[in-house]
A = this chain, B = another copy of it.
Protein backbone atom coordinates (compact mmCIF):
# COMPACT_ATOMS: atom_id res chain seq x y z
CA UNK A 1 0.00 0.00 0.00
CA UNK A 2 1.38 3.37 -1.01
CA UNK A 3 -0.44 6.45 0.25
CA UNK A 4 0.55 10.04 -0.38
CA UNK A 5 -0.30 12.88 2.00
CA UNK A 6 -3.29 13.68 -0.23
CA UNK A 7 -4.47 10.05 -0.07
CA UNK A 8 -4.11 10.08 3.71
CA UNK A 9 -6.05 13.34 4.09
CA UNK A 10 -8.84 11.97 1.86
CA UNK A 11 -9.48 9.04 4.25
CA UNK A 12 -12.11 9.25 7.02
CA UNK A 13 -10.77 10.88 10.19
CA UNK A 14 -11.02 7.69 12.28
CA UNK A 15 -9.11 5.65 9.68
CA UNK A 16 -6.44 8.34 9.41
CA UNK A 17 -6.11 8.52 13.20
CA UNK A 18 -5.74 4.76 13.64
CA UNK A 19 -3.44 4.33 10.65
CA UNK A 20 -1.08 7.15 11.58
CA UNK A 21 -1.09 6.29 15.26
CA UNK A 22 -0.25 2.63 14.71
CA UNK A 23 2.02 2.88 11.64
CA UNK A 24 5.30 3.80 13.40
CA UNK A 25 5.02 0.71 15.62
CA UNK A 26 4.54 -0.11 19.30
CA UNK A 27 5.95 2.46 21.69
CA UNK A 28 6.21 3.06 25.42
CA UNK A 29 3.01 3.63 27.35
CA UNK A 30 2.67 5.29 30.74
CA UNK A 31 0.10 6.53 33.18
CA UNK A 32 0.80 10.17 34.04
CA UNK A 33 -0.25 11.12 37.55
CA UNK A 34 -0.89 14.75 38.52
CA UNK A 35 -2.60 16.82 41.20
CA UNK A 36 -4.45 20.08 40.60
CA UNK A 37 -4.33 23.21 42.70
CA UNK A 38 -7.59 22.19 44.40
CA UNK A 39 -6.06 18.83 45.27
CA UNK A 40 -7.83 16.73 42.64
CA UNK A 41 -5.78 13.79 41.48
CA UNK A 42 -5.66 12.94 37.79
CA UNK A 43 -4.38 9.91 35.93
CA UNK A 44 -4.20 9.56 32.15
CA UNK A 45 -2.57 7.18 29.69
CA UNK A 46 0.07 8.56 27.29
CA UNK A 47 2.04 6.75 24.59
CA UNK A 48 4.34 9.60 23.60
CA UNK A 49 6.99 9.54 26.31
CA UNK A 50 10.46 9.92 24.88
CA UNK A 51 13.98 9.93 26.30
CA UNK A 52 15.48 13.42 26.01
CA UNK A 53 18.70 12.93 27.95
CA UNK A 54 20.45 11.23 30.85
CA UNK A 55 22.66 14.04 32.22
CA UNK A 56 20.55 15.65 33.56
CA UNK A 57 17.84 12.99 33.27
CA UNK A 58 15.05 14.37 31.08
CA UNK A 59 11.93 12.86 29.57
CA UNK A 60 9.41 14.48 27.25
CA UNK A 61 5.89 13.81 25.99
CA UNK A 62 3.28 15.28 23.68
CA UNK A 63 0.22 17.04 25.09
CA UNK A 64 -2.78 17.33 22.75
CA UNK A 65 -4.00 20.83 21.80
CA UNK A 66 -5.62 22.97 24.49
CA UNK A 67 -8.86 23.26 22.51
CA UNK A 68 -10.51 21.62 25.54
CA UNK A 69 -9.25 21.54 29.15
CA UNK A 70 -6.39 19.04 29.52
CA UNK A 71 -6.36 18.12 33.18
CA UNK A 72 -2.84 16.70 33.03
CA UNK A 73 -1.51 19.93 31.55
CA UNK A 74 -3.28 22.30 33.92
CA UNK A 75 -2.24 20.24 36.91
CA UNK A 76 1.42 20.18 35.87
CA UNK A 77 1.43 23.92 35.44
CA UNK A 78 -0.22 24.36 38.84
CA UNK A 79 1.83 21.83 40.78
CA UNK A 80 5.08 21.43 38.75
CA UNK A 81 5.43 17.73 39.75
CA UNK A 82 4.08 14.82 37.72
CA UNK A 83 4.67 11.08 37.70
CA UNK A 84 5.20 8.45 34.99
CA UNK A 85 4.06 4.94 35.83
CA UNK A 86 4.61 2.00 33.49
CA UNK A 87 1.64 -0.13 32.47
CA UNK A 88 1.52 -3.81 33.46
CA UNK A 89 -0.90 -6.54 32.27
CA UNK A 90 -2.36 -6.93 35.79
CA UNK A 91 -4.02 -3.53 35.55
CA UNK A 92 -4.17 -2.91 31.81
CA UNK A 93 -7.95 -2.48 31.72
CA UNK A 94 -7.92 -0.01 34.60
CA UNK A 95 -5.02 1.86 33.02
CA UNK A 96 -6.75 2.07 29.66
CA UNK A 97 -9.94 3.23 31.36
CA UNK A 98 -8.14 6.41 32.52
CA UNK A 99 -8.41 7.60 28.90
CA UNK A 100 -12.17 8.09 29.36
CA UNK A 101 -13.33 11.68 29.48
CA UNK A 102 -14.03 12.17 33.19
CA UNK A 103 -15.09 15.52 34.62
CA UNK A 104 -12.25 17.58 36.09
CA UNK A 105 -13.51 17.00 39.63
CA UNK A 106 -13.43 13.22 39.24
CA UNK A 107 -10.24 11.36 40.13
CA UNK A 108 -9.36 8.58 37.70
CA UNK A 109 -7.95 6.73 40.71
CA UNK A 110 -11.38 6.45 42.30
CA UNK A 111 -13.05 5.79 38.96
CA UNK A 112 -10.74 2.96 37.90
CA UNK A 113 -9.72 1.37 41.22
CA UNK A 114 -6.01 2.19 40.90
CA UNK A 115 -4.22 3.24 44.10
CA UNK A 116 -2.57 6.65 44.56
CA UNK A 117 0.78 6.52 46.34
CA UNK A 118 2.87 9.46 47.53
CA UNK A 119 6.59 9.69 48.19
CA UNK A 120 8.16 12.14 50.60
CA UNK A 121 9.30 14.47 47.84
CA UNK A 122 6.69 14.19 45.11
CA UNK A 123 3.45 16.17 45.37
CA UNK A 124 1.81 14.26 42.49
CA UNK A 125 0.40 10.76 42.97
CA UNK A 126 2.20 7.65 41.79
CA UNK A 127 0.31 4.50 40.80
CA UNK A 128 1.02 1.92 43.50
CA UNK A 129 0.34 -0.93 41.07
CA UNK A 130 3.10 0.23 38.65
CA UNK A 131 6.46 -1.51 39.12
CA UNK A 132 8.39 1.43 37.58
CA UNK A 133 7.56 4.90 38.92
CA UNK A 134 9.31 8.10 37.89
CA UNK A 135 8.78 11.48 39.58
CA UNK A 136 9.50 14.59 37.52
CA UNK A 137 9.18 18.35 37.61
CA UNK A 138 8.31 20.47 34.60
CA UNK A 139 11.44 21.76 32.88
CA UNK A 140 10.16 23.44 29.71
CA UNK A 141 7.38 23.37 27.15
CA UNK A 142 7.44 23.84 23.40
CA UNK A 143 4.38 24.74 21.34
CA UNK A 144 4.25 22.75 18.09
CA UNK A 145 3.08 25.31 15.55
CA UNK A 146 1.95 22.72 12.98
CA UNK A 147 -0.96 21.36 15.03
CA UNK A 148 -1.20 23.10 18.40
CA UNK A 149 0.21 20.21 20.44
CA UNK A 150 2.77 20.89 23.16
CA UNK A 151 6.02 19.05 23.80
CA UNK A 152 6.57 19.02 27.56
CA UNK A 153 9.98 18.21 29.02
CA UNK A 154 10.35 17.08 32.60
CA UNK A 155 13.40 16.61 34.80
CA UNK A 156 13.57 13.28 36.60
CA UNK A 157 13.68 13.93 40.37
CA UNK A 158 13.37 10.39 41.66
CA UNK A 159 12.76 6.86 40.45
CA UNK A 160 11.43 3.62 41.90
CA UNK A 161 12.24 0.29 40.27
CA UNK A 162 12.47 -3.25 41.73
CA UNK A 163 16.12 -4.06 42.63
CA UNK A 164 16.03 -7.46 40.94
CA UNK A 165 15.06 -5.86 37.60
CA UNK A 166 18.16 -3.67 37.32
CA UNK A 167 21.41 -5.21 36.04
CA UNK A 168 24.79 -4.13 37.42
CA UNK A 169 25.24 -2.16 34.19
CA UNK A 170 22.10 -0.11 34.86
CA UNK A 171 19.96 -1.89 32.24
CA UNK A 172 16.35 -2.38 33.33
CA UNK A 173 14.82 -5.78 32.48
CA UNK A 174 11.41 -5.15 30.90
CA UNK A 175 10.77 -8.81 30.10
CA UNK A 176 10.93 -9.55 33.83
CA UNK A 177 8.86 -6.43 34.55
CA UNK A 178 6.25 -7.45 31.95
CA UNK A 179 6.21 -3.85 30.69
CA UNK A 180 3.60 -3.24 28.01
CA UNK A 181 3.96 -1.20 24.84
CA UNK A 182 1.18 0.38 22.82
CA UNK A 183 0.45 1.15 19.17
CA UNK A 184 -2.21 3.74 18.59
CA UNK A 185 -4.85 4.46 21.18
CA UNK A 186 -6.05 0.95 21.94
CA UNK A 187 -3.63 -1.85 21.00
CA UNK A 188 -1.28 -3.04 23.76
CA UNK A 189 1.62 -5.35 22.92
CA UNK A 190 3.61 -7.39 25.47
CA UNK A 191 7.34 -7.75 24.81
CA UNK A 192 9.30 -10.96 24.28
CA UNK A 193 12.88 -12.06 24.97
CA UNK A 194 15.26 -9.25 23.99
CA UNK A 195 18.43 -9.27 21.91
CA UNK A 196 21.22 -7.17 23.40
CA UNK A 197 23.85 -6.02 20.90
CA UNK A 198 27.29 -4.59 21.59
CA UNK A 199 28.38 -1.00 21.05
CA UNK A 200 28.73 -0.59 17.27
CA UNK A 201 32.10 0.50 15.85
CA UNK A 202 32.90 1.29 12.21
CA UNK A 203 35.54 -1.45 11.93
CA UNK A 204 33.33 -4.36 13.06
CA UNK A 205 31.28 -4.40 9.93
CA UNK A 206 29.72 -5.67 6.76
CA UNK A 207 27.68 -8.53 8.17
Q: Which residues of A contact B (CB under 8 A)?
A: 1-5, 8-9, 11, 13-30, 47-62, 84, 86, 92-94, 96-103, 106, 111-113, 119, 121, 132, 134, 139-140, 142, 144-147, 149, 151, 153, 155-163, 166, 169-172, 174-175, 177, 179-181, 183-202, 204-207
Residue from the list B52, B156, B200 in contact with A96, Cβ < 8 A:
B200
A174 and B26 form a contact (CB under 8 A): yes
B24 and A170 form a contact (CB under 8 A): no
- Compute how far the CA of A111 lies from the CA of B203 in the bound complex, rounded to whole angstroms: 9
A170 and B96 form a contact (CB under 8 A): no
Least CB distance, A199 to chain B, in whole angstroms: 7
- Compute how far the CA of A187 lies from the CA of B177 in the bound complex, rounded to whole angstroms: 15
B15 and A170 form a contact (CB under 8 A): yes
The quantity of this chain's copies bound in the complex is: 2
What are 6 A-B contacts defined by CB distance under 8 Å? A18-B170, A24-B51, A94-B207, A100-B204, A101-B201, A188-B194
B145 and A22 form a contact (CB under 8 A): no
- Compute how far the CA of A112 lies from the CA of B99 in the bound complex, rounded to whole angstroms: 42
Residue from the list B24, B156, B190 in contact with A30, Cβ < 8 A:
B24
A206: B residues at CB distance < 8 A: 111-113
Given contacts A51-B47, A149-B52, A189-B194, contact A156 B20 (CB under 8 A): yes
- Compute how far the CA of A58 lies from the CA of B148 in the bound complex, rounded to whole angstroms: 11
Given contacts A191-B192, A205-B100, contact A157 B5 (CB under 8 A): yes
- Between A11, A26, A84, A199, the greatest number of chain B beta carbons within 10 A of the residue's beta carbon is seen for A26
Chain B residue nearest to A151 in the complex (CB): B151
Given contacts A97-B207, A158-B2, A174-B183, contact A192 B189 (CB under 8 A): yes
A52 and B146 form a contact (CB under 8 A): yes
Given contacts A183-B194, A191-B191, contact A205 B111 (CB under 8 A): yes
Chain B residue nearest to A103 in the complex (CB): B202
Least CB distance, A65 to chain B, in whole angstroms: 9
- Compute how far the CA of A20 lies from the CA of B178 in the bound complex, rounded to whole angstroms: 18
